[in-house]
Structure 1
Amino acid sequence: MATLIEHLIKLTDHRDRDLLELTLSKALIDLIPIQRVLVSKVLSEEGVKRWMDVTVLDARGGGKVVDPLRVDFQTLPLLEDNRDRLHCIQRQERVEIAWAGENGPRITYLPLFTDPVAGDEAVLEIHSASALMDEQLAVVGDVSRVFRNMYRLLAYSDRDALTGLLNRKSLDDTFYSAVLEELGQVDEAAAAARQPALSAGQERRHRVPPNYWLGTISVDSYGVINDQHGHLIAEEVLLLVARIMNNTFRTYDRLYRFGGEQFAVLMHCPDEALVLAAFERFRANIEKFNFPQVGRLTISGGFTRVSPDDSPSTALERAERAVDYAQHHGQNKVFSHAELVRKGFFGEALKIGAVDIF
């Protein structure tokens, strides 16, 4: 059995924020006599909040790790459906439920995150045969504190400093981990993460299911805005674009800023029409917004289905070709790369170095 120090080292070894909940759960299962541990986060969509169990782990083996991108939000339980969890977050204190007598099994709820402004609300749920002793609760507190510190540290490194959206570096991690649903697959990913870094220009590839979509967005005529209004006003435009993105897309869609006026979205959706509708809503919301000192702006967007053999760069290249097409054909438009190919506006191209092969 690993010691507390060894588990803390494992937590601080991580460079992938999505695996931290699993490592936390494994540490608690190993360090104290409990039967089950869950990490449940709060998701929000159009003002409605629901519970999502991101990690479930049993002491006897088995469990699951859930990818938020693939969750059907409407099937998740509402916050009011589990009032004990809700009280834990609202009161920001431990809630203990004895569900089979005073000396019998317990469910203990502890607040893991309680920051709705930052979008971080989560509960740690522990099932045990009896009440947890003070020294056991102290271990849970110590491990959870290290978990939170690492989570915030990695979250900071994953974010664009100006807008708070995810950055380009974090796309690679999400791209390869988004489809790892089963516990064994996540373990395999964690082992792979400990391997030496890839050499320059070398990219990992992972088989991605067909319902992931990657889109890119550019603010039209952003250079003109910068020249006419100055750097500070141009940055304010980017902040407002990021805010409108957060208000338009689902809370579990991954929103990115890659630098300058370029933004991106990684989402899971069953078909192309729904993806187009989401990007069109965003385009319309930008078009009707009155930007202070600048007035009306538009964006051009493009998106592509992520194919099984894609890397982030190959998928981004297709999305950016669709954006380029929109910008050269009137701007203020969103196109699907696949639809443009179907209509014959441009063919598929395989780029090798600086050479395009058709």
Structure 2
Amino acid sequence: MQILQNLVEMTGHRDHLRLEVSVLSTLQQLPHVTYVRALELSEMPEGWVVRPRTWSEGGEMVTSGSDALADTQSQPLHSIAPLAEGIAQALSSFSHSYPGRRYVLWLPVWMHNKARTCVEITQSRPFSARRMEVLMSIFRVYQNYQSLLDYSERDALTGLLNRKTFEEQFIRFASLAANAPISLPELTGSSELPQQWLAVVDIDHFKQVNDRYGHLFGDEVLILVANLLRTSFRAQDRIFRFGGEEFVILLRSVTLQDAQQIFERFRRNVEAHPFPQIGQVTVSLGFSSTRLCSPVEIIGQSDQALYFAKQNGRNRVCHYESLLSEGNLGLKVAHEDIELF
């Protein structure tokens, strides 16, 4: 009966993180379960890493929140050999026994043929067939409901996050900026502190694509640009389709120099990509730091940088603060005067 009550509570959530906390709380209450956590798998320049996102501590569930604590606990995926092997084999569940009567079960959450999250359950005794049946039933309810949440947060055409999920994601990114800088491997060796960045992307001359080739080809361009966005950024970054040919990127914990290089790499990837029937497509991009401003102000700043890029040749990346310091922009647009897209 308690499990059923927990399942009712679990499916009442409309947020991935709260749903995660709820399912781990349910698993933690089962007999002989000593520890549970949700692991996030991310692809970094140095390889795949795994880090805790939610875990049990002192009978309570703890989440990484701003991710600062989780980053300090990051470790290479290959350092947990059974987990790395199970992910490589695309298994739906796998376990390993450790000395000291510690038995660990991993349940990856597979979406779009990729495992970005994994539930880890530790018991003081081996996993019996009956226990596995109970665990898998709870996990399937969780996975199915998570898929529904994921579907509601995605743009139907491109599969990217949609506009309505932006505010929640931005708040989490803003919490990163408010905390102490995260220690990450440097990409350039710069002594500059990592920050969070927001970029606005616009496909150049997209209206001409629709007018000349039709909306079916226009949709194909949007899908291909979305695919290039996915491959150009990391799992911990967030990419949104705001509507039309406009996209927004939340880039996490890199220096200004690295951010410039990452955005330039994406711009070049689009420029070099062959688009069927269309030929070459380019994008313009404006970006700004997310520190000390509201979402509407930061989008307004990035949008001003984007406008400058489009008015000065297109197919380029512009940084708002740099443009401002160089005198290339007028006075900042007031909060109430910003009109988004």
- TM-score range (shorter-chain normalised) is 0.7 to 0.9
Amino acid at match of 2:24: S
Amino acid at match of 1:317: G
Query: 1:108: which partner in 2?
Result: 104
Instruction: Determine which of 258, 278, 282 is the counterpart of 1:298.
Output: 282
Q: Structure 2 length as normaliser, TM-score?
A: 0.84
Instruction: Determine which of 172, 175, 198 is the counterpart of 2:170.
Output: 175
Query: 2:185: which partner in 1?
Result: none
Query: 2:123: which partner in 1?
Result: 128
Q: Aligned in 2, Cα 1:46/1:118: closer, same or farther, shift over 3 Å? A: farther
Listed one character per residue, the Cα deviations across residues 188-233 of structure 1 (whole Å, up to 9, x for unaligned) are xxxxxxxxxxxxxxxxxx9688822111100011001111111111
Indicate yes or no: 2:243 matched with 1:259.
Answer: yes
Contact 1:302 1:323 in 2 (8 A): yes
Greater displacement, 162-171 / 268-277: 268-277
Q: Aligned in 2, Cα 1:275/1:147: closer, same or farther, shift over 3 Å? A: same
Contact 1:54 1:67 in 2 (8 A): no
Instruction: Determine which of 268, 288, 291 is the counterpart of 2:272.
Output: 288
Amino acid at match of 1:7: N
Structure 2 matches for 1:11-160, cutoff 5 A? Answer: 11-45=10-44, 48-61=47-60, 63-65=62-64, 76-89=74-87, 90=89, 91-100=91-100, 105-115=101-111, 117-160=112-155
Indicate yes or no: 2:317 matched with 1:343.
Answer: no
Contact 2:174 2:291 in 1 (8 A): no
Query: 2:228: which partner in 1?
Result: 244
Contact 1:7 1:27 in 2 (8 A): yes
CA RMSD of aligned residues (A): 2.9
Q: Distance in 1 between matches of 2:277 and 2:55?
A: 50
Amino acid at match of 2:208: V
Contact 2:202 2:246 in 1 (8 A): yes
Indicate yes or no: 2:207 matched with 1:223.
Answer: yes
Structure 1 residue 76: Cα displacement = 4.1
Contact 2:173 2:196 in 1 (8 A): no
Paired residue secondary structure (2:236): coil
Amino acid at match of 2:136: G
Paired residue secondary structure (1:352): helix
Paired residue secondary structure (1:348): coil
Listed one character per residue, the Cα deviations across residues 88-112 of structure 1 (whole Å, up to 9, x for unaligned) are 4424333141422xxxx22221323
Structure 2 matches for 1:187-198, cutoff 5 A? Answer: none
What is the number of residues matched between the two proteins?
323
- Extract unaligned runs of 5+ from structure 2: 182-194
Q: Aligned in 2, Cα 1:317/1:354: closer, same or farther, shift over 3 Å? A: closer
Contact 1:290 1:296 in 2 (8 A): yes
Query: 1:191: which partner in 2?
Result: none
Listed one character per residue, the Cα deviations across residues 295-328 of structure 1 (whole Å, up to 9, x for unaligned) are 1121110011112341x32221211111111111
Paired residue secondary structure (2:51): strand
Q: Structure 1 length as normaliser, TM-score?
A: 0.80
Structure 1 residue 67: Cα displacement = 5.4
Contact 2:53 2:70 in 1 (8 A): no
- Extract unaligned runs of 5+ from structure 1: 182-205
Indicate yes or no: 2:302 matched with 1:319.
Answer: yes
Q: Distance in 2 between matches of 1:26 and 1:60?
A: 9
